[in-house]
Amino acid sequence: MRGDGVLLIDQIDAQLDSTHCSEILNRLHQAFPRLQIIATGSREELLEHASTYQCLKLESGKISHLDLNTTKQQLEHIYTLLQRSEPLTPSIEAQPLSLIDPAPAQIEVLFQQIQGLTEQQKNELLRMIHAGDAPEESPSV
């Protein structure tokens, strides 16, 4: 393609695997060096070659420059934590086995309790599970 222009691509990373996602912007730039390419995406792999591009982020309805150094430092910190020899969550190991892996008898008791609920109680339980809410206090009449 010859000439100047603008190419807009929304969610450029939506159907790409991680390898293609990290290379797509470079390949588009090589194929269309005179085009201004504006692309949106949500995957970190798009930032692999980001130092050669202008990167912006939309957060809380405001557009700002993406600080690649901070992002890189955050990722390096995460990688460092993942490579440590000690576990990241020692508190889980300190928990009694019964809290981590409930016994089949406990599961059966819970299952029986759920089976004993009325249809309305089952619906309310499902609503709370899906909403992640704690039970609401109902006012006394």
State pLDDT tens for residues 71-106.
667 777 787 877 776 655 555 555 555 555 556 667
The answer to whether 64 touches 34, Cβ cutoff 8 Å, is: no
* Annotated domain spans of the chain: 5-68, 97-131
The answer to whether 7 touches 31, Cβ cutoff 8 Å, is: no
Residue found by looking up tokens 């934590």 in the block:
81
* Residue-level length of the chain: 141
Q: What is the Cα–Cα distance from 10 to 5, expressed in whole angstroms?
A: 17
**Is pLDDT above 90 for 10?**
yes
Residue type at 34 in one-letter notation:
R
Q: What is the Cα–Cα distance from 61 to 134, expressed in whole angstroms?
A: 30
pTM given for the model: 0.45
State pLDDT tens for residues 13-65.
899 888 888 899 889 888 888 888 898 888 888 888 777 888 888 888 888 88
Q: What pairs with residue 59 in β-bridges?
A: 62
